[in-house]
Amino acid sequence: MRLLIPVIALVLALAAAVSLDRPLPPADFVLIDRSDVYTLDPQRMSYQHELRRARVIYEPLVNLRASDCVIVPGVAERWEVSPDGRTYTFHLRADAKWSNGDPVTSEDFRYSWGRAILPDSAADYSGLFFAIKGAKPFFDARNAMVKEFAAQHAGRPSAADAEALWKRTAELFDSTVGLHAPDARTLVVTLDAPLAYFLDLCAFPCFSPVHPPTVEQFVSLDPATGRMIQRHDWTKPGRIVVNGAYVPVVWRYKRDMRLEQNPHYWNKAAVVAKSIECRTAENPNTGVLSFQSGAADWLTDLGPEYKTEMLAERRAYLERFRADLDAGLARGERVDDIVALLPPPGEGERRDVRGFDAFGTDFFSFNCRETLPGERFNPFNDARVRRAFALAVDKQTLIDRVTRLKERVATTLVPPGTIDGYPVIEGLGYDPARARAELKAAGWEDRDGDGIIENAEGVKFPTVDILYSTSSPRYQNLALAMRDMWKRELRIAAECRGKDSKLYKEDLKKGNFMIARGGWYGDYGDPTTWLDLQRTGNGNNDRGYENPDFDRRMTEAEAETDPVRRLARLAEVERWLFTEEMPLMPICNYVTVYMYDPSRLGGIAEHPRLEQDLSILERREGVLPAAPTQESLR
């Protein structure tokens, strides 16, 4: 009998594992992302695919309509703005509920926005909330309080004192931050100054609410530091409580996530797909093969290098029907709706890929900190060195020979023509002779003709560490090409260091790089979504760039009340930033390439901000069969 006990235990364990991995019925809609989301906590989200997921799991006060990015009601059915533009009063709809049936209240928003403002949360987007009256002083005060607490309690933790500190923190928040909930359905927000894009901010997923009773179950205080500790078990399916169109019911990391319609969502009548499956395919070829096998409706990021040839085949297809396309566009029809009704592609043609000029810019960051980790010397703390490296890169060659997607060369961050009224400006272009002059002005040159670039003390310019993520061959290829350009034009050696997305992000946050791959998609329709990345203390300022002059210029520009003059002043700040300071090197404006067939899938938005709403995407009836499950493809 004793011999049977291990066997029985093994059988039971296997049975449990099989039950947890039981195949699910086919979803109404299937998409494939290149990487999985890192978190389902809206206050801690940062990446584009995370934010796209958040838009249907959570709902903020207002929404962005995907087709044109116009502000429309969300949890707030209406709102008023005071004559001085500083106070917003939001009125929450009575039928807004959490997925467990609880009502969504104004206090839920107040609690959630407080989480984002609290420095303990380490949220990338805390700075977006600093427009609220008292938010930045509260953030700074809390940091000072815990710093003092840690010094006083070094070696002698005190849970009681940590609780007392937390109570003082809550009282300070209540008395200083301009967030008030006079009743369950009214939220009053007071700003430090008028903010032209505040409603656009309110639609950003990080401004979504979380369910306080659920989150608080996983909050504790560190008796040694006084800081709040947030465990994230509340984000797991089965525990998570959300207020959006869908509820996550399965999440198998780096594999898939299943979303089911939220039965308590107030606007569920407008939700098309009752279930969505979000699969992860880190290998770009795997994603294409899955789509072509009929396993998915939409590949959100077409990754293989041969996508350039695929786009050429699309152009050949559209050229055959140029007259039909031009006539439809003249009538104001959408491209997808026109293409969906055209005859099928012939040999050497295709219509299941599409490139969009996106609201995003590809760049490489310079580490602007005084020193590198371990107090190592950092040559890129000098703006002249940063300018030299930027001037030595031939971006058009990178586009023609490396990316090959016909992107626009970028010398600044804000994509031209994407923000109404914002002037088009130019930064530094390709100028190798000036690049060498800038390097010499910074004290680096070949002083004895031996081909080695050194400073006045004879110290060789350090080998440059170029960090990139291995999630796409694009980043490695760009890094390698720039390495060769810097060797040719500046005679400086560089080494490329690839890491998977998670480790890459960790090195980025720690400043463990000299030059690092980066990129940004605008979060809202204003130049500050780009320029604020360089603000001192901004959670997305991975470069560690700090310049009081830049911070002052931004503050003065944003204080301008005339909309035209405000945009002009911001444009001048951007021009100065990318002709003088160069904290990062823009490469090109992104082209986002999707894989989907408009004759089989409807609802993809064509607006440059690409704020895709998963809840309105639908299979064209009678054309596309239900996608097979992953299990059936094995």
CA distance 267 to 274: 13
Q: Domains along the chain?
A: 30-217 (3.90.76.10), 246-356+592-633 (3.40.190.10), 360-591 (3.10.105.10)
CA distance 144 to 153: 14
CA distance 435 to 531: 24
630/271: higher pLDDT: 271
pLDDT digits (tens, 9 = 90+) for 597-613: 999 999 999 988 889 99
Predicted confidence (pLDDT) at residue 7 exceeds the cutoff of 50: no
CA distance 110 to 112: 6
- The H or E element that residue 456 is part of is none
Is the entire prediction scored with pTM above 0.75?
yes
CA distance 467 to 515: 6
Partner residues linked to 183 by β-bridges: 186
Nearest alpha carbon to residue 134 among 107, 173, 171: 173
CA distance 467 to 472: 13
Answer whether 44's CB lies under 8 Å from 234's CB.
no
pLDDT digits (tens, 9 = 90+) for 459-485: 999 999 999 999 888 999 999 999 999
Rg of the chain over CA atoms, in angstroms?
26
Predicted confidence at residue 621, as pLDDT, reads 62
Determine the number of helices (DSSP H) and then strands (DSSP E) in the chain: 20, 23
Predicted confidence at residue 154, as pLDDT, reads 85
pLDDT digits (tens, 9 = 90+) for 441-460: 999 999 888 999 999 999 99
Q: In the numeric block, which tokens belong to residue 335?
A: 């491209």
pLDDT, mean of residues 251-278: 96
pLDDT digits (tens, 9 = 90+) for 293-311: 999 999 999 988 799 999 9
Predicted confidence (pLDDT) at residue 20 exceeds the cutoff of 60: no
What proportion of the chain, given as a percentage, has pLDDT over 90? 82
185/419: higher pLDDT: 185
559 pLDDT tier (thresholds 50, 70, 90): confident
Q: What are phi and psi of 515, to 5 degrees?
A: -130, 135
CA distance 376 to 372: 5
22 pLDDT tier (thresholds 50, 70, 90): low
pLDDT, mean of residues 159-171: 96
Among 2-16, 195-209, 579-593, the least confident range = 2-16
